[in-house]
Copies of this chain bind each other. A is one copy, B any other.
Amino acid sequence: MDHTKNYEIIRINGDSKILEEDLVVVETAFTIFIDGEEIITILSSPKALKELCVGYIFSEGWVEKLEDIKNIDLDLINSTAHIDLEKASGLDESFRRKKSIASSGGKASLFSNLLDSLKSQKIKEPLKLDLEIVKKNMIDFNRRSELFQKTGGVHSCGLYFQDEMLVFEEDIGRHNALDKIIGRALLDRIDLEDKMVLTSGRVSSEILIKIAKRGISTIVSMSAPTNLAIELAKELSINLLGFVRGERLNIYTNLEDYK
């Protein structure tokens, strides 16, 4: 399926009015079924859908390791993935249990329980970054953002080991772009602990949680983090860098390593 599509538009610039073809980013409604049950429809770019569904089911806690997946049947015509699991995921079960406790207690939400459970994921030894490599990687990363340059409509995500780009993906959703990177890394059995994730998008708590769950030590963004992302990254000793643009960057966590 094409990643962009031409549309006839009217382009206005001051008094000039031109009817012309314009390239627009394609959005697909991609539906995931697990063991025959419809789980979710993800609105995404029709690219790396296998990576997306693998990354998604890991991020959501449906599976813990690649061996938990018995089979993935990807149907690109109907934009569906039918996934069979070896057994129901333990993680998911414990989430469900936590949820019912939270509801009966009436105080803590599912989300705050999730935060609690993350606290065990602290990075043992924070990775001390070479900031020149971070800046160099961001320049490389920007150069690769092809769909964005064409359409202005997508986010990118990249996985780097030192100054080497291992995986690069784009998607209309910044969460999807990250799930695709994670999915590819899982499929290729790439160890993530010493890797660096670059993103074009803002770093919210949800992005940080995906990073933490996979034990990734560093997240680098072109854009801004939220306070909740900073709090979590501090708690877990994850390197969080933002507004990385040319010679500029902000370091939000593990400050003692860079003073």
Interface residues of A in 31-53 (CB under 8 A from B): 31, 36-38, 41, 43
A25 in the interface, Cβ–Cβ < 8 Å? Answer: yes
When chains A and B are docked, how far (Å) is the Cα of A103 from the Cα of B10? 41
* CB < 8 Å neighbour of A202 from B5, B112, B172, B205: B172
Are the CB atoms of B27 and A204 closer together than 8 Å? yes
When chains A and B are docked, how far (Å) is the Cα of A226 from the Cα of B19? 19
Are the CB atoms of B10 and A153 closer together than 8 Å? no
**A73, chain B: closest CB distance, angstroms:** 12
Among the 9-residue stretches A61-69, A88-96, A186-194, A245-253, the one with 4 or more Cβ atoms under 8 Å from chain B is A245-253
A117 in the interface, Cβ–Cβ < 8 Å? Answer: no
A194-216 CB contact bits vs B (8 Å, 1 = yes)?
Answer: 00000000101110000000000
Are the CB atoms of B227 and A24 closer together than 8 Å? yes
A91-112 CB contact bits vs B (8 Å, 1 = yes)?
Answer: 0000000010011000101111
* CB < 8 Å neighbour of A248 from B12, B26, B102, B252: B12
> Chain A's interface: helix, strand, loop or mixed, by majority?
mixed
When chains A and B are docked, how far (Å) is the Cα of A228 from the Cα of B226? 29
**A92, chain B: closest CB distance, angstroms:** 17
When chains A and B are docked, how far (Å) is the Cα of A14 from the Cα of B248? 6
Are the CB atoms of B10 and A259 closer together than 8 Å? yes
**A203, chain B: closest CB distance, angstroms:** 9
Interface residues of A in 214-259 (CB under 8 A from B): 223-230, 243, 247-252, 255, 258-259
Are the CB atoms of B38 and A204 closer together than 8 Å? no
Are the CB atoms of B10 and A255 closer together than 8 Å? yes
Could you list 28 A-B pairs, sorted by A, with CB under 8 Å?
A7-B252, A10-B250, A10-B259, A11-B250, A12-B247, A12-B249, A14-B248, A24-B224, A24-B226, A25-B224, A25-B227, A26-B227, A27-B226, A27-B229, A28-B228, A31-B109, A37-B103, A38-B99, A41-B109, A43-B111, A43-B228, A78-B107, A151-B224, A152-B223, A153-B223, A153-B224, A153-B225, A172-B202
